[in-house]
Amino acid sequence: MLTIGQLAAYAGVTVRAVRHYHAKGLLPEPARDRSGYRRYDAAAVVELIRIRTLAEAGVPLSRVHELLAAGDDEFSEAIDDIDRRLRAEIRERQIHRRRVAQLAAGDRLALPPEAVDYLDRLRRLDVPARAIEAERDAWILVAAQIPEQMPALMELKRAQIEEPAVSAMYLDLVEAADWDASDPRLPAFADRLVDMFERDAERWTDGEPPDFPLDDELVELLDGVFLNAVPCARRLLRLLEERGWKGWTRLERIRTTG
């Protein structure tokens, strides 16, 4: 005869689990010996192993009680049902594993290869991580809306960033992201941005920028990211407008009439 501790050890459970199964009515409590201790026989070990196996398979304890009392056919059918459920759970967990693997891929989670290459180029320019993260999130939004335009967009961005003047301006913009709206350097910085816009405009076909059809809602969302993240953004946009340019995500030259 076994003590409760020996029974638990044979069945691979804890003493606390044995007592829990007693309380749930799954494992009958044996008679106590003269010293007041429970004593268990081999049948109790077998029954406890069956309870543990069903419980570990995810069978609710209320169903375990039912299965333990079932006939052979009913028990076999229930086991088949449990097996089907476990296989479905395995398939679901495999899907979760693939999603976790995608998360480990970092930029590749939601961006096409050309966008990942562009972000890697920014890293080689020693652009701060926070700026790259902001770029990544913005391009994820764009790629979700116009995936077919991403190759052309990234070709344009790569060409721009390879120009020394543009890459220097980009790094200046990253630095300016921390400036206060009253920073005295902003007007000169706006002048430099306008010079860059004007040089780019010389390459526009028919005087119009390349047509990448971002809808108004996405433009507003991306502009909002810029306005919320950069303290001097609103003043900078006002300075640009004074110099003949408006917008940020969708840059436009202000047409004047004489």
Q: Is the pLDDT of residue 237 over 90?
A: yes
Name 246's bridge partners. 252
Dig out the tokens for 26 from the structure: 């799954």
Tell me the C-alpha distance between 239 and 195, whole Å: 13
Start-to-end Cα distance in the chain: 107
Quickly count: other Cβ atoms within 10 Å of residue 69's Cβ. 9
pLDDT tens per residue across span 111-146:
888 998 898 888 888 888 878 888 888 888 888 888
Specify whether the CB–CB gap between 215 and 145 falls below 8 A.
yes
Q: What is the pLDDT of residue 221?
A: 86
* Mean per-residue pLDDT, 36-58: 87
Q: What is the pLDDT of residue 256?
A: 52
b (16+ CB within 10 A) / e for 215-244: eeebeeebbebbeeebbbbebbbebbeebe
Phi, psi of 12 (to 5 degrees): 75, 35
CB under 8 A, 24+ apart: contacts of 104-107: 107/136
Q: What is the pLDDT of residue 241?
A: 94
If phi over 0 gives left and psi between -120 and 50 gives alpha, with beta otherwise, what is residue 194? alpha
Residues in the chain: 258
Dig out the tokens for 247 from the structure: 């917008």
* Mean per-residue pLDDT, 189-211: 75
Instruction: Taking each helix axis as running N to C, give the angle between helix 113-124 and helix 150-162, from 0 to 180 degrees, rounded to the nearest 10.
Output: 20
Pick the CATH number of 4-103 from 2.40.420.20, 3.40.50.300, 1.10.1660.10, 3.40.190.80: 1.10.1660.10
Tell me the C-alpha distance between 54 and 137, whole Å: 46
Q: What is the pLDDT of residue 234?
A: 94
Using DSSP's 3-state secondary structure scheme, residue 210 falls into: coil
Confidence grade of residue 206 (pLDDT, cut at 50, 70, 90): low
Sketch the domain layout of the chain as residue ranges. 4-103, 107-253
Name 205's bridge partners. 208
Confidence grade of residue 257 (pLDDT, cut at 50, 70, 90): very low
Phi, psi of 237 (to 5 degrees): -65, -35
If phi over 0 gives left and psi between -120 and 50 gives alpha, with beta otherwise, what is residue 256? beta
* Mean per-residue pLDDT, 16-25: 91
